[in-house]
Structures are given as C-alpha cells and as structure tokens.
Amino acid sequence: MNDQQLNIQPLTPDAFAPYGDVISAAEATEVININEGNTQRFDNLANLKISSGNGKPCLSIFRSRPLSLPITIYGMENHPLASQAFFPLSQRPYLVVVAPPGKLNETRIEAFLASPGQGVNYHPGTWHHYSLALEEESDFLVIDSQMKQSNCDEITLVTPRQLRL
Amino acid sequence: MNDQQLNIQPLTPDAFAPYGDVISAAEATEVININEGNTQRFDNLANLKISSGNGKPCLSIFRSRPLSLPITIYGMENHPLASQAFFPLSQRPYLVVVAPPGKLNETRIEAFLASPGQGVNYHPGTWHHYSLALEEESDFLVIDSQMKQSNCDEITLVTPRQLRL
C-alpha cells in the first residue's frame, strides 16, 4: 500500500466554492448595521440545507482530538441529504479535506488549511474527512440535520493520503 | 424617569429554561463518540425552530460593541416566529437580558451573566435585549431564520433598567 502525499492549500471562498461555503466575517459580502448601530451583522454566511424532507436542524459541539503525525487519511464521508457547517471555537487552525460530489474520484481529493475565524459549510453530497483539529483538542460548533433515514455514506480510500504539513 | 436596578444572575440551564436553551458542551446531556473515537459529539444543544412556515435557516456573525457603562437598557425585542441562537466566539463573558413571552411584564425582566463557552438560544416569543458584549467588541455566531413576513417586535420600556455589574 503506497500512501500519496497531499499538498495543503490556504482556505479561500473561491477555492472552496465547489465544495461549500467558507464561513467568515472577514470574507462576508453582506454586512448590515443593526441594534442602534451597536452591532454589525455579517449576514447569510452559508447556504444551510438542513430542513429539507423530514430533516430537523440540529446544533451540536464537536470536540476533536488531533490525529497522530504524520496525518494519514484512510477514508471519506458524505451526507447526501443535508449540509453540515463547522465553526472553530478555538483560536487554532485546522485541516479540511474534501472531494467533489458523486462517485468518489480519489485523484480529486483536496486539502485546505483553515485559519481561526474561518468555518466551513459542506454542501450536501460533498465528500469530506471528519474534523481534523491540529495542535490540541479543539471544539467546533456544528449545524447539521437529523433525520430518520440514513444520511451518511462512508468510503475507504484505495490509496491513503498523507497530509504534507 | 427613574431607572431601576437589575441584578445579574449566573447563566444556568435551569434558570434560563423559561426563555430558551443554554448551549454548552459542559452542560450537555447527550454525548456520543464518533469518528473512530477521535470526536465527542455534544448533541442537540438547542431546540432550533428556524424552518417553520416559509422561514429559511440563516447563519451569520454578529460583531457587538459594548455599551457605555453603566449599562442601561431602554427596550426589548421579540421574534415570535423563530428561535435565535447566539454562541460567543470570543473568550469573554457577556450579558443576556430576557423576559417571558406574551405581553411584556417589565417587573419580570431578568439578567444573566454568560461565561465564555456558553451560548443561548431564545425560544420563539422570548423578549430579549440585543447582544450585550462586555469589555471589548465581540463576535457571536448566530443561527436564526429569515422570512418574508415581519418577525421582530420591539418595545420601549416604561422604566429603563440599569444593570448592576
């Protein structure tokens, strides 16, 4: 089994657009002043799809333990029926590993380095690795959907990928 | 015009139950292990009501400037058709001022001090003051609902309340 190395790119809205939204005040396009001028609302930061069908919007916190170095990923997951948003509650960077929807094409797996203050919202069907905290155990606020039917496909990679930090 | 002083209580799930949910991993009642044991999911932390009627779930960031001291509140607001959740992205405490749903009874206004790591989810109809950051400008992740019809009632208090910090 030969691992392949995966380069890590900075997370930007443009580069991440095929997979979902970057959730960030710094990169917001709609900003309004509310509350007598005491609050800026950075609005509509993600395209949430969490209430279609019988899905029920769900708010949770994920506490993620960093994987051992060198980080090697062996599988991906996919929620075909709903989006899933993660926002970091720590001031630490973390990794985001994704691939386009549809039949998984392993050659199209991409890895991004998210900065503190940047969240991600995976669109329905985007292949992604689970939360990849770095440095220390880190919390993420998560907004997804709970439903009775199955909404998680998992796949094991033919060729594991080692992340080149 | 005589201001009245309002005492500030610690924010706990029990004390806040008439108004909404306290969003906190430390106070979660459902915890599951996922992602090959690398993630703890503190699940269902808030009763989100953000997709009833034609409401569309919305994710935004509020950047709130602290009010001048002594903080005096002059009004309250109310979203009758949807919940509104706030989670602090700073490591600073903040204030939460609420009153029960229905016709506003000013004698029942209560104030809570939220700790870093504690969010709040106002249930539909709960009267609340807008975000009250302390110390410095602070960001909050907000999950609410956008809809065509009006979903914000505002009222001016007959007797403003001064918060006794």
Burial code (b: 16+ CB inside 10 Å, e: under 16) for B143-164 equals bbbebeeebeeeeebeebbebe
Of B48, B57, B63, the CB nearest to A39: B63
In the prediction, which pLDDT does B63 show? 98
Q: Report, as an integer, the average pLDDT of A51-79.
A: 94
**Model pLDDT, residue A54:** 83
- Asked if the ipTM is above 0.85, the reply is yes
Segments forming the whole domain that contains residue A62: 4-163
Give every CB contact of residue B41 below 8 A, 6+ residues apart in sequence.
A60, A61, A62, A142, B31, B32, B33, B34
pLDDT tens-digit readout, A117-158: 999 999 999 999 999 999 999 999 999 999 998 999 999 999
Tokens, residue B155: 């009222």
Question: A6-40, pLDDT tens digit by residue?
Answer: 999 999 999 999 999 999 999 999 999 999 999 99
Q: Average of pLDDT values for B9-21?
A: 98
Over 60: is that where the pLDDT of B134 sits? yes
How many folded domains does chain B comprise?
A: 1
pLDDT at residue number B52: 81
CATH number at residue B114: 2.60.120.480
Chain A hits for B48, CB-CB cut-off 8 Å, are: 56-59
pLDDT of residue B2: 61
Give the span between the Cα atoms of A26 and B84, in whole angstroms. Answer: 22
- Mean pLDDT, chain A, whole residue set: 95
Contact B158, B1 (CB under 8 A): no
Chain A contact for B51 (CB, 8 A cutoff): yes
Q: Which two tokens stand for residue B116?
A: 């870093």
Do the Cβ atoms of A63 and B46 come within 8 Å? no
Report yes or no: B95 and B113 within 8 Å, Cβ to Cβ: yes
